[in-house]
Amino acid sequence: MAPQIPSVEVDRTLYDLYSLDGGDPNEVAHVIALCPPNGSASSSLPESSKYTFQSPLLPKLDNEFIARICLGNGSQNHAFAAGPIQLYLFDIDPPRADAKNGITESPPAAHTDAQRTFNSLIPAQRPNLSFIPNPTEFKPKPGVKISPYPPLDFLDEHLTIVNQDVHYGLMSKRDLALSGLPTPQTQVIESTLSSADVLDDDVVEAEARRIVGVVRDRPTPFVVKFPQSLAGQGVFVIRTETKKAERTKLFEMEVARMLRRLTPENEHLRPVSLLIQDYVEGDTKNQSMFITKSGRAEFICTAEQFLDEEGLYRASIIDYERQGRYKKEYSDIINKAASYCHSRGYWGPLGCDVMTDSAGRQQIVDLNVRITGDYFMGLLKGNFYERHGFVYSYLINPLAVLGNRDSFEETFEKELVEGRMVIVGWTRGKMGKHEYSIGSVLIGGTDHEHCLELADRINAIALPKPQQEQP
């Protein structure tokens, strides 16, 4: 018998936040796809050619895994606290094993997996969910403005909250470095090539060598950033000359890839650059906020993110008892970020990573003009802290396990029933005859050790982490 898991209630939803200061949430729709940077992972979402992204540390996974991470689990957990707003996700192709044998699941697994995730919420907080099987046939309600994550080529034909060219710039680490906001000292290395130039491979390779040559000549330590990347997959902390030498070939390959994706349609966006940023010792915390229609910054939460040895995102943790202190501590930098984005027409969910250096100066090291992966953690304070007494919540994402959601819930029935665990994303796949799942799990704890004890038990059944791409 399936465990009787209590429904989850968030403190506020995006629907509620869009209602603030004269906003109308019924005029907004979210389109969410953690867009794979190096090609299409599903027939529902062709490769983006105008709005390009980089991910040189993308793990070695085939498209079936990537689609389930990005279009399934990742899109669900980003939208977990959307509330009764119009939400569009993308279809995911059935496993090759099923397609080969003519097995058709109806409704498709992508639909039922997402519905199950959102059905864990109380009925009034479930999104108005639709799926996009083909972008060319996408027809939102008349007058509705789309808030996309991220900007997508096909949405240029539709009404968006902010012009997508502007939105793409707001998400760019290059544009952040030139924004006037407080950031570490950054050198922006621009490409001088046009879209016509990049048709010549010799020219492309020479330009890639020129750009990366600036990195090669820079004394360590420093940080290298690509302009549009997610989950730390385009950020490199270079502490030693040995590490710099190891990374140079990878940088040249990725810069050449960026150059070859320069087109007449996107060259005005300045999508090709490389950033060298001063290495600053300090404490970095992720700030989540909501910019209301009038431009006011509404604090959501402050979270700490855990990165692995390569700098890739692995987990987030929130201390609910410190949120009031963080709201005051980061209010000035939050207001600056919100004012900058609103001045360019954006309103809605926003995240920014803020580093505090040894002198106490706060600097923005990344600006995420979108809903972030740990945004909903702050909106679950009532669930974890006020109703169950858990001071901390800890997000594990993505979690890959053998088996399906039923077997996972049976293993952790006690934690789910007691409200210590919430599944905020889940999608299924197959490797031959074997079923696997990609999930996002949020757990509560009375202290760090209490969180990590359960996290260790969960990670003990996880599939091994995939290796990153190598040059």
pLDDT tens for residues 133-190?
A: 999 999 998 889 999 999 999 999 999 999 999 999 999 999 999 999 999 999 999 9
pLDDT tens for residues 333-360?
A: 999 999 999 999 999 999 999 999 989 9
Flag whether pLDDT at 119 surpasses 60.
yes
pLDDT of residue 469: 52
Q: What is the DSSP string of 124-177?
A: GG--EEEEES-GGG--PPTTPEEEEES--GGGGGS-BSS-HHHHHHHT-HHHHH
Flag whether pLDDT at 470 surpasses 70.
no
Provide the pLDDT confidence category of residue 236 given band limits of 50, 70 and 90. very high
Strand order in the sheet with 145-149: 128-132, 86-90, 28-32, 145-149
Nearest to 16 by CA among 348, 336, 367, 295: 348
Q: Which CATH architecture has domain 282-459?
A: 2-Layer Sandwich (3.30)
pLDDT of residue 39: 73
Flag whether pLDDT at 383 surpasses 90.
yes
Provide the pLDDT confidence category of residue 309 given band limits of 50, 70 and 90. low
- CATH number attached to the domain at 185-278: 3.30.1490.20
Domain ranges of the chain: 14-174, 185-278, 282-459
Provide the pLDDT confidence category of residue 310 given band limits of 50, 70 and 90. low
Percent above pLDDT 70 for the chain = 96
Own/partner contacts of 257-263, CB < 8 Å, gap of 24 or more, are: 257/38, 257/54, 258/52, 258/54, 258/191, 258/226, 259/191, 259/193, 259/198, 259/204, 259/207, 259/208, 260/198, 260/204, 261/49, 261/52, 262/191, 262/193, 262/194, 262/195, 262/198, 263/49, 263/50, 263/195
Q: Which of 226-235, 283-292, 457-466 has the highest mean pLDDT?
A: 283-292
pLDDT of residue 1: 55
Q: List Cα–Cα distances, 471 to 40, 66, 255, 367, in angstroms.
A: 21, 20, 13, 28
Q: Tally helices (H) and strands (E) across the chain.
A: 16, 16
Provide the pLDDT confidence category of residue 311 given band limits of 50, 70 and 90. low
Flag whether pLDDT at 19 surpasses 90.
yes
Strands 28-32 and 145-149: parallel
Q: At 326, give phi and psi (nearest 5°).
A: -65, -35
Percent above pLDDT 90 for the chain = 80
pLDDT tens for residues 260-299?
A: 999 999 999 999 999 999 998 888 999 999 999 999 999 9
